[in-house]
Amino acid sequence: MANNRVDNAVIYPGSFDPITYGHINIIERALKIFRKVIVAVSHNQSGKKPFFSIEERVSIIKEIFRKEKRVVVEPFKGLLVDYIKSKSVDTVLRGLRTVADFEFELQMSLANKKMSGNVETVFMMTEGRYSFLSSSIIKEILSLGGRAEELVPDVVVRRFNERLKERKTDIVSWE
Ligand code: ADP
């Protein structure tokens, strides 16, 4: 049976607050399988307030992949299934690190399938060296002044420190 999905585009949704080498590794590996990867940066973070604005998260990822025309970066609001329909793409990509990821991802993929029978989610296992890496860990390390060069691109460290400085200045100016 002919299957043209693999030769097609895939949507990689997430918060990317901020993007890490774990996410980048998934995108680079997906480019070997899919013609195009649409990185869809989500507005809603189940109540969590993001560190970076959505515009900044999009712009950081665009900067990282500026030379790779097959990576498209976009913000999206609302339900993933609605966004997928609007793009006429029916394959979603997610990464898996731990058993905890698995349980959450299974629920999500089943819910998406229930809402739109056409959607298929494909999962890529993290590479061992990134298995512990998450956006939350990066925010923790950077806000405590730790080194993260091997975990995120320079642009992330630079923009993080800029935002942190702005916020500290804001706090001081309000005191
Ligand atoms: P979300 O809030 O939607 O989970 P994230 O930005 O945290 O968004 O993650 C987006 C996707 O990337 C998820 O599928 C997540 O499991 C995956 N991911 C995050 N970090 C890694 C990593 N280090 N290795 C592999 N996949 C990862």
| Sheet containing 120-125, strands listed edge to edge, beginning at the edge strand earlier in sequence | 71-76, 36-42, 9-14, 91-96, 120-125
Mean pLDDT of the chain: 91
42 burial (CB, 10 Å; 0-12 / 13-18 / 19+) is buried
Expressed in angstroms and rounded, the spacing between residue 137 Cα and the centre of ligand 1 is 12
Give, using CA atoms, the residue closest to atom 4 of ligand 1: 14
Does residue 138's CB lie within 6 angstroms of at least one atom of ligand 1? no
**65 vs 82: CA distance, rounded Å:** 26
Over residues 32-64, the pLDDT tens digits come to: 999 999 999 999 766 678 999 999 999 999 999
Give catalytic status of residue 23 as yes or no.
yes
Expressed in angstroms and rounded, the spacing between residue 174 Cα and the centre of ligand 1 is 36
Closest ligand 1 atom number to CA of residue 19: 6
Give catalytic status of residue 43 as yes or no.
no
Write down all domains in the chain, each with its CATH number in brackets: 9-169 (3.40.50.620)
Does residue 57's CB lie within 6 angstroms of at least one atom of ligand 1? no
Over residues 65-105, the pLDDT tens digits come to: 999 999 999 999 999 999 999 998 989 999 999 888 999 99
Give catalytic status of residue 97 as yes or no.
yes
Give the helix ranges, DSSP H, for 21-148.
Answer: 21-30, 54-64, 80-87, 99-115, 135-143
pLDDT of residue 162: 95
Helix (H) or strand (E) holding 73: strand 71-76
Over residues 125-172, the pLDDT tens digits come to: 999 999 999 999 999 999 999 999 999 999 999 999 999 988 877 655
Helix (H) or strand (E) holding 13: strand 9-14
